[in-house]
Homo-oligomer: A and B are copies of this chain.
Amino acid sequence: MSNPVLNIGICGFGTVGQGVWKHLSANRARLESRLGVRLNLARAAVRDLRRPRDVRIPGRLLTDDALSIARDPSIQIVCELMGGTKAARQVTLTALRAGKVVVSANKALICEHGAEIMAAARRHGGHFFFEASVAGGIPIIKALREGLVANRFPRIYGILNGTCNYILTRMKEQNAPYAEVLADAKRLGYAEADESLDVDGWDTAHKAAVLAWLAHGVWVRTDQMIVEGISRLTPADIRNAATLGFGIKLLAVITRDFRRDELSVRVHPTLLPAGNVIANVNGVFNAISVSGDVVGTTLYSGRGAGRDATASAVISDIADAASLLRHGKGAHLLGEEPVGPSRCRLAPPESIRGRYYVRLTVKDQPGVLARVASEMARHRVSIATVIQGPADRPRAASLVLTTHESDERAIGHTLRRLRSLATVLEEPVLLRIGDFAS
C-alpha cells in the first residue's frame, strides 16, 4: 500500500526557492519515510522562464504564472517565496481560500496583511505557516508557539537582520566608517543594491511585528513602533560604547508590562552590556532572547538569512504541513490563534523607560556642556557619564552623554531642545541602552 502523494508548488524561484527545491530533493527519501507521505515537487513559478538556473528542474514544471499554482486543485502546499506584498498577497489569499497550506518566508507581507491572511485561513480551512519569516533557520516561531506555550513573555529582544549585524561587526572590528563597510557588504552580496529596507530597520520591524503577534496576539503596525536604523552610527560610537562597557547591536525589543497591560515594540541600535551573549553574536548571525514568566530567559541563535538556512525553515513547515494533511490538526497549529490575550494597548512614550546615549557635535567653545546639561536637567533627564572628544569637523567637539533612567517622552523633548541650540551643529545621535544581563 503506497503512501499518499502531497503536491508542492513553489511560487518564486530565486535563491530561497531554489534552495528549497535542492534540499527537498536531496532529503526527500528520509522525509517521506518519517512523514508517511510522498512529497512531489509539482510546479515552480518563475519570473522569467528563459533565465538559466542553478537547480535542475524539468521545463514542463515551470510556469511564469504564480497564481495558477495557487489555483491548481492538485497542489496542496503552496510555498510563497516571491517577496513583495502585492502579487504575494494575491497568491497567498487565493491558496488559502482554496483551503491549501501556504508556507511563507515573507515577513513584509505578514506584517502588512497578517490579520487578513489569518482570517482567510480560518474562514476557508486553509493554513498559514511562516517559520522562515523570522530569523531564518532558527526555529523561533515553533519555540514561541509550542515549546514555550506555558509562558507569557514580558520581554523578547534580538538581532533579526543579518545585514545590519554584519555591518556593525565589520565597523567594530576594522574601525571602519559605515559607508565604507556598506559598500563592501554590497560587493560581497551581504547587502541589497537598495539597502534601506535593512539598514533603516524596516526589515527588523516587520519581523518584530510577527513576533509580537505570536507572543501577544496584537498586530502592531510599523508606524506604531519606534524604528531607527544604523546609518548614522560611527566607529566613534562603537568605541565610546566599548569604553562604557557596551557593544552596539540593532535590536528589535518587544516588552509587555502585564500589570498595566501595555505592549511596546521598537527597533533601534542598542547598547548591550559587553558580557551579554547577544552583544557577542557577530557577522550575519541572528540571535533572540526570549524571557518567559515560567521558563526564565532562553536564547536562540543562528544564520538569519541565506538560501540554506531559510530552506531549512521552509522545509520544516512543509513537514508540519504534511503531517497536518496526513494526520489532522496538531499542536503546531496553535499559533493560528495567538498565544496571548489580544486586548493590551500600546505603551505610551512615557511608559517606555530606559537609559540613553546621546552624541552631540557641538561648537568647540567653553560653556557648551553646561548649556546642554541645563537643558537636560530642565526635562528631568539626569546625566550619568560624559565623554568629550574631537569631532570629525574643524572647530567642533563631540559630546557623548549617557543618562540615568528616563523615558521616551522626556528624552524626545530634550532632543528637540538640544537640536535647536546654536552650539549644536548636527542632528544629535540618540541610542538606547539595553540594560539586559541576558
Contact = CB atoms under 8 A, between A and B. Distances in A.
Interface of A: 23-24, 27, 30-31, 33-35, 131, 136-139, 142-143, 146-152, 275, 277, 280-281, 287, 292, 294-303, 308-309, 311-313, 315-316, 319-320, 322-324, 327-334, 337, 339-341
A207 to B, nearest CB: 17
A316 B150 contact: yes
A150 B22 CA distance: 11
Given A142-B142, A302-B297, A328-B327, A131 B149 contact: no
Contacts of A27: 150, 294
B280 A319 contact: no
A217 to B, nearest CB: 10
A149 B298 contact: no
Contacts of A333: 323, 330
A331 B319 contact: yes
Contacts of A137: 148, 292, 294-296, 298
Contacts of A301: 277, 298-300
Contacts of A330: 320, 323-324, 327-333
15 contacts: A34-B334, A35-B334, A137-B296, A139-B146, A139-B147, A143-B143, A149-B316, A275-B280, A277-B301, A287-B299, A296-B303, A297-B303, A298-B302, A299-B300, A299-B302
A298 B35 contact: no
Given A296-B309, A315-B294, A139 B150 contact: no
Given A34-B149, A277-B280, A327-B328, A295 B320 contact: no
A152 B23 CA distance: 11
Contacts of A275: 280
Which of A139, A319, A327 gathers most chain B CB within 10 Å?
Answer: A139
Given A139-B146, A151-B312, A319-B334, A295 B303 contact: yes
Given A30-B341, A139-B148, A328-B328, A295 B312 contact: yes
A146 B142 contact: yes
A340 B322 CA distance: 18
B294 A312 contact: yes
Nearest to A308: B294
Contacts of A139: 142-143, 146-148, 298
